[in-house]
Every structure is written in C-alpha cells, then in structure tokens.
Amino acid sequence: MKPPKTLIHPAASEGTDISSLRHQFPALAQKLDGKPVAFLDGAGGTQAPQRVIDAMSVFWAQGNSNIGGKFEVSKRAGEDVERARAAVADLFNAPSPDEISFGQNMTSITFALSRALAREWKEGDNIILTKLDHDANVSPWLAAAEEKGVEVRWVDAKEGDCTLDMATLDSALSSRTRLVAATAAANSTGTIPDIRKISKAARSVGALTFADAVHYVPHCLTDVKQMGVDLLSCSAYKFFGPHVGILWGRRELLESIGAYKVRPAPSSIPWKWETGTQNLEGIVGTEAAVEYLADIGRKMGGAHGSRREALEKGYELIGEHERALSNRFLDGVEAIKSLRVHGITDRKRLKERTPTFAIELDGHAAPEVAEALGREGIFVWSGHYYAIEVMKRLGVIDRGGLTRVSFVHYNTEDECDRVLDALRIIR
C-alpha cells in the first residue's frame, strides 16, 4: 500500500542562511504585546516545523487505529510506525530499524529499562552515575540500585568548566561494575562529554553504557556505532518533533533483557519494549521531524545520497550556525559585569559544548531574570531544570538555581542580541 498523501510541502532551496528555515515554524511568528517572541528555551523543548504538524493532522484525518488489525487503516498505521522506525535508525546510524523502540518519553523509558536491567544485579555489584546528568538518568538508577542493594558510585563534575572529571570514572570502575549511565550532552551547562571514552572504559570491565541523548540529538550528529554505547534514549520533542520517547539498544542486548509486558504482547524486538498502545500520531510526527533535519542537508547543503548522508550534511550546517551563536553570546556576556557563565567559555572548545548556557547574574535570582526576560518576549528557563546533581555541585540549588539561555538552529543573531541587551538592562 502506498503512503497516504499528506499536507507536507517541503520548502524550495533556502540558500545558505540557516535562519531562513524559520518560516517553516509557525510558533516562531508569534508576538507578545507587539514584540516578536524569541524561543530561547530549546533545551526544555523545541518548536515543530509545519511538516510535523501536518503529518500528525493527516494521521488523524485519515482514520485512527491501533496496529495489528486486518483492515486498511490499521495496516497503514503499522506501515507508518515502521517508516518512522527506519527514519530514526538513520538518525542514529543504527544497524537495524528493529533496534528502535518508541515510548512515552526518555524518563519513562529509563525507569522501565532500569527495572529490567536490575533483575540481574546482585549485592556487591555497583553502578556508576555522573554529577552532570539530568535526573532522568539518575533517579531511575538510584531506585533500582536501592531495591537490589547495589552500590552507587559517582563521576564528579569540575566546577570551573562543568566537564566530567574522568579520573573519578577510572577510580570508580571495578570488575563488579554493571552499568555506567552518562549524558551525551548536559541540558544544564551544554557540556558534551567524551561518551566514546566513557563507553570504552566501561567495556574494559564488562559494564554496559547507557547514554542520555535528549540534549545531544538536536545539536549533534548521533552515531551509536561511533559512540560505542550499548543503550541510548532521547525524546523527539527536543529535536523538533512531538512528545515521543525513543530507545535504541544493541539487538542482542535488547533481546536478552526481560521486559515488563502485559500478556500476550510480543516478546521480540522492537515490540517487546513498547508497552501498551503507543502515541501513533506522535510516531508519525517523529518521522517528519527526521525528514526535516535531512532536508537541511539536501536543500541547503546539496546532499544527494541517502537520508543518512543528508543528515550528516544537515548537522554540519547546524553545528556551524550554532557555534556562531555561541561565540556571539559569549562575546556579549563577557562585557556584562557581574554575569557568570557556568561551563565552557573557551572559544577554541565550542565543539565540546552545545549552545546552552547556564548563567548567574549577581544580585538577581534566576526566576527573577527569567521573568524579566519573559516580559520582553524572550523565553528562557530558570531553576534546576531537573539537573539536580549539577546544581548541587555548583552550590546554587538552594538559591533558585540558574538561568538557562539555550539556542537551537532556528534562533538568529538578532535574537542573541536581544537577550544580551535585555540582560544588560536587568544588570
């Protein structure tokens, strides 16, 4: 059966200015009290291009059905899911679409996975977590470790540039280490740890590596083969899609782990990890989000090969634009007295961070700064953003956390200048 017609009309060639993609995002055209809205909260969730909105609308308009039925609408829904699985496999450079499973969100997936993995843990074993992670990659493992009587060890974060202290990983590893859970990119400070080095160290003692890629996928080309991890999870709403969680894992590993399922749900991958009825319209929208990213490479980068090759070129352009925004922002904040950036500020190291900045303005609590910016139509986040361990490590959790300014590729230099001007006024 051929894919149904949709309302999606990919734009013609947009040239070389990545900011010209903005016209594909309806939400970016909003105004607040006559002022253009600037969404600088990408680390909390991105806006969706029109093709994602259209794909989900068409799914509903043409009929909603669960998969597995013997009639056309159900068959079409099943085909939709498999196309989305193939698209995400290309996004991750996964060996097979069967290694891709969908769920509610990264947090829910990690709780389910931690419980399943912990079945094999024994007293005397240990797991390793980091002080740089979102709590979705901390609390599930803490709960599982407590239930099984397993020791929790920590990789520390350096207070200055907010990078991981890899020496503490080496000292934490042992022959009884069962898992290392680490972020691929910190949603708090933008730090991009060397996940390949982490997974190699874990493998040296026979431990598994689980990567939280929620903040990584919007900014960096994901390659599970190159990263060397065993398991990886993210959420599509952070890379311009809907609220859908995604799990990737090595086939043999996913097949060997006993998932918690209702009877008589399939026990083979990928379905064994998809508990209950999935967000089918969201899965359809996820495929559209991947195609949007690939089209950046096709229409702006001249890519003519596979979808993966288009994604590689698209992310190359995204990286160039985002590093230019990071450089401009760092230049601006350095001129604002009493404003501190927590994280990497060395311009030569911009590839080690995303354009996400945790800032602190002396004399102004983080919620106060975010509220003042919000009145100007500049949307940022404040508080701990569920990065509890990071905020504890930086000593700011008891005073309201930090203000987070997080750019993505649809943000512009003008928006960067707007938030800098507003911060100067607040100062």
pLDDT at 171: 98
Taking 80 as the threshold, does the pLDDT of residue 2 lie above it? no
- Is the pLDDT score of 31 beyond 70? yes
pLDDT exceeds 60 at position 9? no
Mean pLDDT in the chain? 94
pLDDT recorded at residue 379: 98
Tell me the pLDDT band of 168, cut-offs 50, 70 and 90: very high
- pLDDT at residue 11 greater than cutoff 50: no
C-alpha torsion angle, residues 56, 57, 62, 63 (rounded to 10): 70
pLDDT tens digit string along 51-79? 999 999 999 999 999 999 999 999 999 99
Could you tell me if 310 and 295 are in contact, meaning their C-beta atoms sit under 8 angstroms apart?
yes
The pLDDT assigned to 149 comes to 97
> How do residues 290-320 score in pLDDT, each as one tens digit?
999 999 999 999 999 999 999 999 999 999 9
What are the structural domains of the chain? 72-288 (3.40.640.10), 314-426 (3.90.1150.10)
The predicted pLDDT at position 193 comes to 98
* Confidence grade of residue 18 (pLDDT, cut at 50, 70, 90): confident
Residue range 240-249: average pLDDT? 98
pLDDT band at 267 (very low <50, low <70, confident <90, very high): confident
* Pair 6, 54: CB distance under 8 Å: yes
> Which of 12-21, 181-190, 258-267 is predicted with the least confidence, judged by mean pLDDT?
12-21
pLDDT at 13: 39
